[in-house]
Amino acid sequence: MSLQVGDTVEDFTLPDETGTERRLTELLAGGPVVLFFYPAALTSGCTAEACHFRDLAGEFAAAGAQPVGVSGDTVEKQQEFAGRHTLGMPLLSDTDGAIRERFGVKRGFTLAPTKRVTFVIGQDRTVLEIVRSELRMNTHADRALAALRAAKG
């Protein structure tokens, strides 16, 4: 079962790239969260996608929102990814795949068990927008921003 626009996201906690436990409701306290699931840190597609989110950080801040990455990578790998590309956003480590499963973005094969899907989540934990694209890396941040701007009205 995958989440749909209008669904309420269950709260969860995952460690970020520093090993700090991050809770969804705490992340949402500052505004909407753009949760982007990606298959694997340090791969070319995921790097392009994460760097596009980074490059639009000012626009996300202006929209009152925060991008947060999630993959099945270890905390150490997320830390290397964040550091190498100065990403400046939380990268959550879902090593057991429980959150990936809950969001319905689990893929059958194990090399890249996470689908590339982005969820725009409002402060009340409602899904405002879902962006699905495996190949167009920039579409995730671009469409998330458009949804945030539309929601602000």
Question: Residue 43: pLDDT above 80?
Answer: yes
Residue 113 pLDDT: 77
Q: Is 146 a member of any domain?
A: yes
Q: What is the CATH number of the domain that holds 121?
A: 3.40.30.10
Q: Is 1 a member of any domain?
A: no
Q: Is 99 a member of any domain?
A: yes
Q: Could you list the residue range(s) of the whole structural domain that residue 119 is in?
A: 7-152
Name residue 97's amino acid. Answer: G
Output the pTM of the full model: 0.94
Task: Report helix, strand and coil shares of the chain as percent, to nearest 5.
Answer: 35, 25, 40
Q: Is 50 a member of any domain?
A: yes
51 is catalytic: no
Residue 1 pLDDT: 61
Catalytic residue (choose from 34, 35, 41, 46): 46
Q: What is the pLDDT of residues 56-109, one digit of tens each?
A: 999 999 999 999 999 999 999 999 999 999 999 999 999 999 999 999 998 876
Q: How far apart are CA 78 and CA 70, in angstroms?
A: 9
Question: Does residue 150 come out as left (phi exceeding 0), alpha (psi in the -120 to 50 range) or beta?
Answer: alpha
Output the six-digit token pair for 97: 């795949």
Q: Is 2 a member of any domain?
A: no
Considering just the CA atoms, what is the radius of gyration of the chain in Å?
14
Task: Provide the CB-side half-sphere exposure for 121 (13 A, CA).
Answer: 27
Q: Tally the domains of the chain.
A: 1
Q: Is 38 a member of any domain?
A: yes
| Mean pLDDT value of segment 30-46 | 93
